[in-house]
Amino acid sequence: MGEAPRLNLFYKIGAGVYFKLRYNIDIMEFITAGAGETHQLAGKILKEVSGRRFQGALVLALEGELGAGKTVFAQGLGKAIGVKEKILSPTFVIMRHFNIKTFKHFSDLYYLDCYRLESAKDLNFFNFKEILKDKNNLVVIEWAERVTDILPKDAVWIKFEHGGGNKRRVKIRI
């Protein structure tokens, strides 16, 4: 049996947001141009995955170089679920918590930045395993590749890459 053909088709799904169709249905690839489009994409992705069944919390594991769009994406998620506070990267505090009052699938957003962690054990301080067990939690983790051993198998992995200028390539593995 031969290898599946590789498709390389782009479809417009919103104002400037393009979906790149690939032969592997478990990986979706998007190209955004600017923060507004990345915010829009975050809302669309959240809408798509929030209705799925997960073992516990919905975990969005973000990876990518510095400045690749992880924090901008998280800000778009916050906007999509009605968080009123400004969402800043938790680089120096490790974790930020937000109550969600207007989004039906979740009651709490936990936003983590694992860049400065020595190991996944550092998250024990935050009672992280209990956070992961609660189906009412949305957990967004920057630099998730540093703590893969404690993340659930059903985590949604989102990789950010620089695409030149304001463009970002976003790959989602479900």
Q: How confident is the model at residue 104 (pLDDT cuts 50, 70, 90)?
A: confident
61 in a domain, yes or no? yes
Least confident of 15-19, 61-65, 84-88, 139-143: 15-19
137 in a domain, yes or no? yes
The SS3 call for residue 12 is strand
Closest-CA residue to 102 (of 75, 86, 80)? 80
Q: How far apart are CA 116 and CA 163, in angstroms?
A: 26
Residue type, 5: P
Residue 110 has phi, psi (to 5 degrees) of -115, 125
66 in a domain, yes or no? yes
Q: Tell me the whole-structure pTM to 2 decimals.
A: 0.84
Least confident of 18-32, 71-85, 96-110: 18-32
The CATH number of whichever domain residue 36 belongs to comes to: 3.40.50.300
1 in a domain, yes or no? no
- Residue 162 belongs to domain spanning: 9-173
Q: Which residue has the higher pLDDT, 4 or 71?
A: 71
151 in a domain, yes or no? yes
Residue 47: other Cβ atoms inside 10 A: 11
Question: pLDDT above 70 covers what percent of the chain?
Answer: 85
| Residue 22 predicted with pLDDT over 70 | no
Domains in the chain: how many in total? 1
82 in a domain, yes or no? yes
Q: How far apart are CA 158 and CA 147, in angstroms?
A: 14
